[in-house]
Structure 1
Amino acid sequence: MNLYWRLLLVWLRARRKPRIRLGETIELRLTVLPNDLDLNGHMNNGRYLTIVDLALVEYMTRAGFVGHALRQRWRPMMTGSMIAFRRGLRPFRRYTLRFAIDCWDERWAYVRYAFVHDGRVVASGHGRGGIVGPQGVVGSAEMCRVLGVDPVSPPMPAALAAWIEADRMLRAAHEAPVAPLDSPQREIA
């Protein structure tokens, strides 16, 4: 099944599900399809993040954000993600994706997700994303206003704060000049 068909099905089903508020957790029940597989016969590591995008579509639809976003020509954009894999998902296995927006800062929203099979987490992670419009990034205060929620974010979980700091350090390292291949490796401080 093509991912666009899966996206369409998720969006259509989300329109019939109950509304949610920022911070609530949603669950999508999905199946590992043949086009989700890698050469090792389990779900491809890149596919996990594509499936997380499906959860984002459902979340924003059920939160009542999609209609406003379309009118404003806003679109969601993930700017970073961290995922830890524990076990593989084999073909035709049913699994549940749990997804929530945990907190936000002035610019970005931070999400949490977990892939669960037979009551065990097989992969989990965090992501950072935002809303982009014709004028650039739409701040979290505007997102909260549209959704009718308090713009004051819930506290940031410690694991998420650690990931944000690690991401900041990686970005800083990538902004440093690249050493030629024949020079010795330099240590990153």
Structure 2
Amino acid sequence: MNLYFRLFWLFVWRVRHCNSIGFLGTSRIAYRALPCDCDINFHVTNSRYPAFLDLARTYMLAEMGFLNRFIKLKWMPIVNAAEFTYIRDIKPFTKFEIETRLVGWDEKYFYIEQRFVSDNTLHCIVHVRGVFVCKGKQVPIDTMVKEVNFEGPAPELPAEVVKWKEFLQLKKEQNM
């Protein structure tokens, strides 16, 4: 239930009062780990991280100034793959931030890095690969980049994302 409240709060209040960042800027949104976010080990449960990340990516689009435009275009963001590296747990009542940034794109996917941090402590790093879909079809990356008026080459993907892409391709090939 608290995720529905957080989603409601995101759309009703936070996106209307958010900062403005550039297309390749870093978005930051703060949350507090509530007891209902935690498991029997008294830390944020693994299943809660992806839900927080969905909210943070939505907030990033709002800070970039594209959320309303993408909604009007009926572009739906879809996660294709994600990889999580858990470093330190988040205890109940800890205030933390999720830092979200677009690290690049290729001919088919965009890549986002998200970090859970609190008091200069890194808790988790996540890489997300995704697309936008409209009417059941993928929106081409070039169309998305043009829609946001970004000019210039795609940033060079970080080495860990390049390796992850290679791993995903190998996984796909092994299971076809």
1:26–1:99 CA contact under 8 A, matched in 2: yes
Task: After TM superposition, give the deviation of residue 156 of structure 1 in Å.
Answer: 0.9
Runs of 5+ consecutive residues of structure 2 not aligned to the other structure: none
The equivalent residue for 2:170 is 169
Q: Which structure 1 residue ranges, 4+ long, deviate > 4 Å from structure 2?
A: none
1:69 aligns with 2:85: no
2:27–2:63 CA contact under 8 A, matched in 1: no
Task: State how far apart, in whole Å, the 2-side matches of 1:77 and 1:21 are.
Answer: 22
1:124 aligns with 2:125: yes
1:11-160, aligned counterparts within 5 Å? 11=11, 12-150=13-151, 152-160=153-161
1:107–1:138 CA contact under 8 A, matched in 2: no
Task: State how far apart, in whole Å, the 2-side matches of 1:69 and 1:16 are.
Answer: 18
Runs of 5+ consecutive residues of structure 1 not aligned to the other structure: 176-189
The equivalent residue for 1:180 is none
Task: After TM superposition, give the deviation of residue 144 of structure 1 in Å.
Answer: 1.3
The equivalent residue for 1:5 is 5
Residues 54 and 151 of structure 1: CA distance in aligned 2, closer, same or farther (over 3 Å)? farther
Task: After TM superposition, give the deviation of residue 61 of structure 1 in Å.
Answer: 1.4
Larger Rg: 1
2:33–2:93 CA contact under 8 A, matched in 1: yes
Q: Name the aligned partner's letter for residue 4 of structure 2.
A: Y
Q: Name the aligned partner's letter for residue 78 of structure 2.
A: M
Task: State how far apart, in whole Å, the 2-side matches of 1:49 and 1:73 are.
Answer: 23
2:131–2:139 CA contact under 8 A, matched in 1: yes
Q: Deviations over 1:144-169 (max 9, x none)?
A: 11111126211111111001111111
Q: Name the aligned partner's letter for residue 137 of structure 2.
A: G
Structure 1 vs Structure 2 CA RMSD: 1.5
Once the two structures are overlaid, the 10-residue window that deviates more, 166-175 or 22-31, is 166-175
Task: State how far apart, in whole Å, the 1-side matches of 2:175 and 2:45 are.
Answer: 26
Task: After TM superposition, give the deviation of residue 106 of structure 1 in Å.
Answer: 2.1
Aligned length: 175
